[in-house]
A and B are shown apart, each in its own frame.
Chain A
């Protein structure tokens, strides 16, 4: 059995809703192996996004551990955790979350800019720009480099967000409802793109409430009431490029 790239154990997370605590994660555990495409499904409010945020170190669990490549994320220093967010993981959000003042190319380069110092950027900017243009060309956006987000369609925006997530060559891509804000056809294009990326070796963990999306994954897990309830293989018998996935169901 190969070692999981991402390993989450017994995650608990609650928020205060007024004066009452709202328990969102109640001991969720989850593994993702290298090269795997895992879909996390669940109804609205089941804690999917919270789980994804914790996995991406955007949020801190009340209890439980997340290990990435054998390192416990929440035992890391703040600097190392920021490095994890900038280098090891890429995020794709439902609402794209592009910077409206920047054009397509700049939005993609932003992930690299954040990772560079003023002087460091001067050394890598030519290479970074070349990589970004190449990536955007692969995603079919070579004609849109100078366009602002408000000049793009939903599908194009999401592809820009994917390009931004990939520019630093992260080991893990976390996608939070990437098709949730797109019509069916465009959503399908995005899923096809993610599948292609996975086939090329990109590990992807995607959250969605749409069970049909799960067909694109090696497997999907179902999150219900803050715990992983069910693990299923996709109906179309898609072949994984990675190892078989395992979850611990409490």
Chain B
């Protein structure tokens, strides 16, 4: 009993123990901050990586794609109605991205998707900018340029109407009204309202401006104008300029011209011999997955249009008949609660059976393309990227934990000093009948208490730092812009992850208390071996 009593008494009467508490506090706070930020970083990467994929992907593995994707999609939906929710094909290729009104050209990865189905299999819709404020108006089909204007032009000739009187075409205004009714955050509505229409005077291209709604504006009636082109959703970093605060300056008005230059491939993967195809498109929205590598490279267009432009739709054969249409991926959304790995294995087997059943009838080139296709989970596909961050997290946590080992040594030193200082007390206790093991236990309990108090304080400190880490950074950046270490430009995420996970905190806390105890073991052992007489004679 005396162990618990004296340990608690030493804890708040011995100043030296406070150094131990401080060491543990700082180490716990440090590891908690690192683990939380890195863990949050990993979670963000993971969830955003998920954002572009369905749970299961049948991946062709080649640019020319594989056939019978549609038939297989229908087949598994019919065979496994409890497993498969939705299937939708996708095409990807590479293109030259160009804004005709400027001289900008950039390489781009083009994804052809059926938007209505595509948003059912992943979180893509959440990252669309205009679709948030004008829900349902982001379409990849043929469309003109929306132009904001005045409802009754010429009623007050010679006088410029107020900005507030500009109106978009009725479908956009109605969509915006729906958003206003459904939006629960009044700040979002207020922010939207104070952001004026941004005029795009020169063919839909504006100076670098921050805006929620960048449209072409004039004093005619609200309308759609210009030739109708297919829509394109552009990765936000490909077209826009990211600001320090994570928001974007937009240059192109919604509906502005974009051109992609594509290179069609034959079934065997060779160039068709035709000159590259230039496809004019309408910029309808920008997409933000949160991963710079994706947002600075990807554009999204209509699946059927892209399939046609890339000659992946059925092509007439000289010998008669047609080639089957091709896609690069079949995205498969699962029903809720389905085990994703089990589903992958099952669908993989089904794909092999399906392929086997078609083999006698299909062309060798198609058979080869189908054989190359494999079934993955979204995590399988993103593994290289996620694993890199995972390893980074482990490495950084390991390094900081290694630094925290200093706390163990420090506890050891502090307790060695305490044992030295308490030698006479040890003698007293032994003269009262305390055992060596009991005395050692006293110092171990004491160290555990130091560790526990340090852990509680460290967890509080660490959690507070994590919760306010963005404010802290803003403050540091206010003092000196060079101190902004987490740049959205670099990390792609606007904010430093600031969530503390309970399991992480518990894990660190346990380890910290254990480390404190480990640090005290040698001094405790020394204390236990002190001979009572020599302790009582100790000066």
Contacts and interface: CB of A to CB of B under 8 A. Distances in A.
Interface stretch (B2-10, B172-180, B186-194, B516-524): B2-10
Contacts of A86: 432-433
Contact of A113 (B1, B13, B425): B1
Nearest to B12: A101
B312 to A, nearest CB: 77
B532 interface: yes
A81 B163 CA distance: 97
The residue in B428, B432, B438 that gathers the most chain A C-beta atoms within 10 A of its C-beta is: B432
B435 interface: yes
Given A58-B430, A101-B10, A78 B2 contact: no
Interface in A86-108: 86-87, 91, 93, 97-99, 101-102, 106
B431 interface: yes
B2 A85 contact: no
Contacts of A98: 428
B34 interface: no
Contacts of B405: none
Contacts, number: 68
Interface in B102-138: none
B4 A118 contact: yes
Interface string B424-446: 11011111111100100000000
B6 A101 contact: yes
A164 B429 CA distance: 12
Contacts of A113: 1-2, 5
Nearest to B434: A114
B536 A110 contact: no
Contacts of B2: 110, 113-114
A58 B536 contact: yes
A85 B432 contact: yes
Interface string B1-32: 11011100110011000000000000000000
B533 interface: yes
A167 B1 CA distance: 16
Contacts of A121: 1
Contacts of B425: 99
B424 A114 contact: no
A121 to B, nearest CB: 4
Interface in B505-537: 531-533, 536
Contact of A58 (B5, B431, B435): B431
**By DSSP majority rule, is chain B's interface helix, strand, loop, or mixed?**
helix
A114 B442 CA distance: 11
B431 A117 contact: no
B208 to A, nearest CB: 68
Given A113-B1, A116-B1, A97 B428 contact: yes
Interface in B404-452: 424-425, 427-435, 438
A186 B395 CA distance: 68
A97 B1 contact: no
Contacts of A97: 424, 427-428, 431, 536
Contacts of A58: 430-431, 532-533, 536
A40 B425 CA distance: 26
Interface string B443-486: 00000000000000000000000000000000000000000000
A78 B435 contact: yes
B433 A118 contact: no
Contacts of B14: 101
A163 interface: no
Contact of A56 (B424, B431, B434, B435): B431
A101 B433 contact: no
A162 interface: no
A86 B10 CA distance: 23
A121 B536 CA distance: 26
Contacts of B536: 58, 93, 97
A117 B438 CA distance: 11
Contacts of A91: 431-432
Interface string A49-62: 00001001011000
Contacts of B10: 101
A171 to B, nearest CB: 14
A111 interface: yes
Contacts of B5: 106, 113
B434 to A, nearest CB: 5
The residue in B1, B429, B435, B531 that gathers the most chain A C-beta atoms within 10 A of its C-beta is: B1
Contacts of B435: 78-79, 82
Nearest to B435: A82
A117 B435 CA distance: 12
Interface of A: 53, 56, 58-59, 78-79, 82-83, 85-87, 91, 93, 97-99, 101-102, 106, 110-111, 113-118, 120-121, 164
Given A58-B533, A85-B431, 14 more contacts: A56-B431, A58-B536, A79-B435, A82-B433, A85-B430, A86-B432, A98-B428, A99-B6, A99-B428, A101-B13, A113-B5, A115-B433, A117-B1, A121-B1
The 6 closest A-B pairs by CB, nearest first: A86-B433, A121-B1, A113-B2, A85-B433, A59-B533, A114-B432
22 contacts: A56-B431, A58-B533, A58-B536, A59-B533, A83-B433, A85-B430, A85-B433, A86-B433, A91-B431, A97-B431, A97-B536, A99-B428, A101-B6, A102-B9, A106-B5, A111-B433, A114-B432, A114-B433, A114-B434, A115-B433, A120-B1, A164-B432
